[in-house]
Chains A and B, each alone.
Chain A
């Protein structure tokens, strides 16, 4: 799949934002007034910048409101609804903390659940797609949610949670990669099934429908070289998990936490880039791209 920067930024930043909101909603840490304002601003900025950047991906963003209508069946619609619901609920909860020094715990808990649900919904946009076997797995929501929580914990300054979720995310990431590498085969789509010509013999793509490119190829048939991917995996895992863990191990202060956050975000972006770039859409089979 084409690793569109807008979508990578969207999923990573909104994941962080909603992750932070999850913790804030649970009152971890419980903050009030200016401090709360600071935390909430960061969380909202991340979530909203993320959502806004996803709009760059739309052909007709002016009709974006229509995306709230199909929550009964569409994960994308659900994600839209959930994110707005989360932001509303957490807005009230946050307002209580910032302006009224009041902690509406039930609302906070609801907000936290909504935050996790939003990230889950985001992940299911990808996870539901049978056409992209690498994504079409439990690992996709598991990794999205854990990463969101790890990042959220880190931003919330929750070192223990951070370490726990980071390690979990790291493990899940490795599992996702390993399982992911075999998922295309497992899903069973081949050039033979795609064309139905397998009963005659081995199928090879001969001529493309056109000598140039098209939307499908640009959007769905992006392939990153294997060697390249391995290096990027290492870098991403290093930055996203290992380096932050090491930094926090060395000591917890503004510098290490700050560096850990930067490293984590960079690593998460790299991981997300790979999430797209390594994912193969079955349509590639029609173009002999596999």
Chain B
């Protein structure tokens, strides 16, 4: 018999449209294949990665490939809706867009006239913060932020205050050159495909990977060395590494002297009101001792050679270089490996070995690149010094209440090794680096009927920058930039509902949320939040009077809104992945991108940004209307092209002017077509000479100005010592006019140390709860969205609680058992499973798999609702009461970052209930449920 004839060149599709993925915030480039369906309409038939795209270079993750199941999901909202049943019930009536916009404007216009702060506008997963904040600013409310406060502000803020950029998606290891890569507390991250690609490259080259994580899955599973650290102790571990490196002198002294504030002189007189502040010249420049003269000089003066050793006495006060203070602190035996080993759960020998390897690779395997460059002091260097050790980190260290200081400690370690912005080390992605001082400060001045006085979010540099009203009370509903958490650069989205409910610091009228599942997986204390959203006052009115929400799908949050503004899916709308927001750049190149409607929506939905454009015009907001009152922009696409933030700088940096200008340039009416033609993105390479040493590199600084990242060169020093933190401490010590309330003085003094420290997070109320409970992102699921996806939910349809061998044995657990897991705040009963590659005192589960019955167009007995669960029921947004009558939030005292991973529990075996406890009731589905079978093929 002969084998069958096979068509090996079948037609793949009718057309390929290139746009940007949004199955998560990594924003990879995708080729969307389209075929004509039965109805003659173009349908998505296959999605693959775009090989030219800087982010993913052709690869695509599981979520990205499953996009076809998302744009066709039965859970897609169909039209605007207004609530008809009680909040939380999910009973809605479909309405038209005119009515929806009338209702929204009807609620918002009066607020704007009288008290704009009564609108709280918070956004979740979106990537258009420069636009949504523009709306909020124009509206005039101070109450705007995105989700960064509960996500990873510790990481972002520590990075920016220390070195002008963070890990996250603002920087990346030099994947091609690094030889030792150390990963702290990362399961997936936003740089999802790039990290995997990078790890793949390291493996190919035989570079070593160290994974520091209580849990050994995913990236940590492929790591050559696994450090199963006790949660919350990374700071201590890192400072022990610093101790060892200092003791052995294995630090990069040239780098410290030239690139960091190590030589900067600090007032060392404990009696001075400026104790701990920098010695500055009249122009406000930090002073260092210039080795050439032995005299103080501005750090950036031409040819200055800062001395790490020199002290300076002036007006009776001794000024010491930061380097002295740093050495003094970390050489202390309390940071010796032996002293920390037990607490960290890592043997002293292993800590030493890691320190030794870091030193060996950084210094013995150092190399130079033949590339001349000139630094900001005008000194030209023949080569670039490489230090092939690099680090990456994310929420594992940042989502603890000591996370800011831990992230800082890690940056200090990187800097001591001289491995930031050097070949083989950690590199920034343009428009980063950008020092904290180049960012705006927070603004909160409300004028009824007028825009806010400036951008909401930013970086404070001392007590004067706090967002306090005339009486010293919090100006913002989330209490960001207050004495409770002064450096809360991203706001505190996780406190909004709780504070609004408590009327603390004041009551609001309308809560306007976008793309955040706040009644479910993105809130702490989920059950409590559901009550706050539905609770009524003595008149029977809802305590939070109005809720507007924009979602694309039938999520849990939909049920709690009064008005639903249904968004189009990511393949049906315009989006702008802008340099003004969270960029998609690579260390070698600046890049931005768009999404565009590669298919038409088949429902009565609108891109939310377009809805904001229309609402802005309807409300007559200045940024959205022309002088004659007519709408300034037709829709979001129009805004993307025609809005100017600063002269020559708009939302999109590519194809400006005649289409050939990048960065700055005139408006180009054909800009979007140019993007589409180019595969949906724009990219321009960093010049060779500017590739490394960006903060200090003249060529980079000039290029950055040309590209419009900033208006004048901003060379700066890495801040081993963060002076603004000292200013808050000084205030707490009684200096200055703006004074913290007494109950916060000790906290500020103790935690806001300008040199990284480690402290145990507040354990009051945790007596008897000794087991750490964590969550991790599954690579094949994005928060709550994945469950509506017929393909992805087969992979993660429910989640067990993984229990380490010791606790497994202690409880006599067997496969199929259930356990009651309790925290001081609540209890859940859930299925357990055994895992040996796990810190012996830690349990964990996949994040956001559990679903409420009736949500996501799933059937009521879906495993997500019966066997899937959230740890969020156990985590409270407030710490257990301390008996002082105050509300202490479960956040980092410096930034307000939600401390998800500080959770402590106890665990006991119980008989299996019929489904997970607590049962959270059921919501009606405004979209019904999905079909009984699928066989998806466009023909």
Would A and B touch once assembled, by the CB under 8 A criterion?
A: yes
Question: Which A residues fall within an 8 A CB radius of B?
Answer: 204, 206, 209-212
For residue A206, which residues in chain B have a CB less than 8 angstroms away from its CB?
835
CB proximity of A72 to chain B, nearest CB, Å: 10
Q: Let me know if B797 is at the binding interface, CB within 8 A.
A: yes
For residue A212, which residues in chain B have a CB less than 8 angstroms away from its CB?
794, 797, 863
Q: Is the CB of A210 within 8 A of B835?
A: no
CB proximity of B346 to chain A, nearest CB, Å: 22
Q: Which of A204, A206, A209, A211 has the most CB of B within 10 A?
A: A211
What 14 additional pairs, Cβ within 8 angstroms, besides A212-B794, A212-B797?
A: A204-B836, A206-B835, A209-B795, A210-B794, A210-B795, A210-B797, A211-B794, A211-B795, A211-B796, A211-B797, A211-B798, A211-B799, A211-B863, A212-B863
CB proximity of A83 to chain B, nearest CB, Å: 22
CB proximity of A12 to chain B, nearest CB, Å: 33
Question: Which 10 residue pairs across A and B have the least CB separation, nearest first?
Answer: A211-B797, A210-B794, A210-B795, A211-B798, A212-B797, A212-B794, A211-B796, A211-B863, A206-B835, A209-B795
Q: Mark B785-816, 1 if CB is under 8 A from A, else 0.
A: 00000000011111100000000000000000
Taken together as a complex, chains A and B put the C-alpha atoms of A204 and B798 apart, in Å, by 21
Closest to A211 in B: B797
Q: How large is the interface on B (under 10, 10 to 19, 20 to 34, 35 or more residues)?
A: under 10
**CB<8 Å pairs between A and B, sample of 16:** A204-B836, A206-B835, A209-B795, A210-B794, A210-B795, A210-B797, A211-B794, A211-B795, A211-B796, A211-B797, A211-B798, A211-B799, A211-B863, A212-B794, A212-B797, A212-B863
Within 8 A of A (CB), among B573-630: none
Taken together as a complex, chains A and B put the C-alpha atoms of A285 and B797 apart, in Å, by 22
Closest to B791 in A: A210
Within 8 A of A (CB), among B850-865: 863
Q: Mark B819-854, 1 if CB is under 8 A from A, else 0.
A: 000000000000000011000000000000000000
Closest to A202 in B: B836
Closest to B864 in A: A211
CB proximity of A24 to chain B, nearest CB, Å: 37
For residue A210, which residues in chain B have a CB less than 8 angstroms away from its CB?
794-795, 797
For residue A209, which residues in chain B have a CB less than 8 angstroms away from its CB?
795
CB proximity of B550 to chain A, nearest CB, Å: 31
CB proximity of B930 to chain A, nearest CB, Å: 15
For residue B794, which residues in chain A have a CB less than 8 angstroms away from its CB?
210-212
Taken together as a complex, chains A and B put the C-alpha atoms of A211 and B787 apart, in Å, by 12
Taken together as a complex, chains A and B put the C-alpha atoms of A245 and B798 apart, in Å, by 53
For residue A204, which residues in chain B have a CB less than 8 angstroms away from its CB?
836
Within 8 A of A (CB), among B750-803: 794-799
Taken together as a complex, chains A and B put the C-alpha atoms of A211 and B849 apart, in Å, by 11
Taken together as a complex, chains A and B put the C-alpha atoms of A210 and B795 apart, in Å, by 4
CB proximity of B813 to chain A, nearest CB, Å: 15
CB proximity of B4 to chain A, nearest CB, Å: 13
For residue A211, which residues in chain B have a CB less than 8 angstroms away from its CB?
794-799, 863
Taken together as a complex, chains A and B put the C-alpha atoms of A211 and B798 apart, in Å, by 6
CB proximity of B777 to chain A, nearest CB, Å: 15
For residue B835, which residues in chain A have a CB less than 8 angstroms away from its CB?
206
CB proximity of B350 to chain A, nearest CB, Å: 20
Closest to B849 in A: A211
Taken together as a complex, chains A and B put the C-alpha atoms of A211 and B868 apart, in Å, by 11
Taken together as a complex, chains A and B put the C-alpha atoms of A206 and B215 apart, in Å, by 13
CB proximity of B473 to chain A, nearest CB, Å: 49
Taken together as a complex, chains A and B put the C-alpha atoms of A58 and B794 apart, in Å, by 26
Q: Which of B794, B797, B835, B836 has the most CB of A within 10 A?
A: B794
Taken together as a complex, chains A and B put the C-alpha atoms of A120 and B799 apart, in Å, by 47
CB proximity of B326 to chain A, nearest CB, Å: 43
Taken together as a complex, chains A and B put the C-alpha atoms of A211 and B780 apart, in Å, by 13
CB proximity of A69 to chain B, nearest CB, Å: 8
CB proximity of B188 to chain A, nearest CB, Å: 15
CB proximity of B646 to chain A, nearest CB, Å: 50
For residue B797, which residues in chain A have a CB less than 8 angstroms away from its CB?
210-212
Taken together as a complex, chains A and B put the C-alpha atoms of A211 and B794 apart, in Å, by 6
Within 8 A of A (CB), among B85-102: none
For residue B796, which residues in chain A have a CB less than 8 angstroms away from its CB?
211
CB proximity of B933 to chain A, nearest CB, Å: 15
Taken together as a complex, chains A and B put the C-alpha atoms of A209 and B799 apart, in Å, by 13
Taken together as a complex, chains A and B put the C-alpha atoms of A69 and B863 apart, in Å, by 45
CB proximity of B464 to chain A, nearest CB, Å: 52
Closest to B836 in A: A204
Taken together as a complex, chains A and B put the C-alpha atoms of A262 and B837 apart, in Å, by 56
CB proximity of A225 to chain B, nearest CB, Å: 14
CB proximity of B521 to chain A, nearest CB, Å: 17
For residue B798, which residues in chain A have a CB less than 8 angstroms away from its CB?
211
Taken together as a complex, chains A and B put the C-alpha atoms of A210 and B778 apart, in Å, by 12
For residue B795, which residues in chain A have a CB less than 8 angstroms away from its CB?
209-211
CB proximity of B362 to chain A, nearest CB, Å: 31
CB proximity of A98 to chain B, nearest CB, Å: 40
Taken together as a complex, chains A and B put the C-alpha atoms of A178 and B798 apart, in Å, by 40
Closest to A69 in B: B1
Closest to A208 in B: B795
CB proximity of B796 to chain A, nearest CB, Å: 6
For residue B799, which residues in chain A have a CB less than 8 angstroms away from its CB?
211
Closest to A288 in B: B815
Taken together as a complex, chains A and B put the C-alpha atoms of A204 and B835 apart, in Å, by 10
CB proximity of B799 to chain A, nearest CB, Å: 8
Taken together as a complex, chains A and B put the C-alpha atoms of A107 and B806 apart, in Å, by 72
Q: Which of A204, A209, A212 has the most CB of B within 10 A?
A: A212
Taken together as a complex, chains A and B put the C-alpha atoms of A210 and B863 apart, in Å, by 12
Closest to B867 in A: A211
Taken together as a complex, chains A and B put the C-alpha atoms of A209 and B794 apart, in Å, by 9
Taken together as a complex, chains A and B put the C-alpha atoms of A204 and B795 apart, in Å, by 19
Within 8 A of A (CB), among B4-38: none
CB proximity of A201 to chain B, nearest CB, Å: 10
CB proximity of B779 to chain A, nearest CB, Å: 12
Taken together as a complex, chains A and B put the C-alpha atoms of A284 and B216 apart, in Å, by 25
Taken together as a complex, chains A and B put the C-alpha atoms of A209 and B795 apart, in Å, by 6
For residue B863, which residues in chain A have a CB less than 8 angstroms away from its CB?
211-212
Closest to B835 in A: A206
Closest to B778 in A: A207
CB proximity of A145 to chain B, nearest CB, Å: 31
CB proximity of A70 to chain B, nearest CB, Å: 9
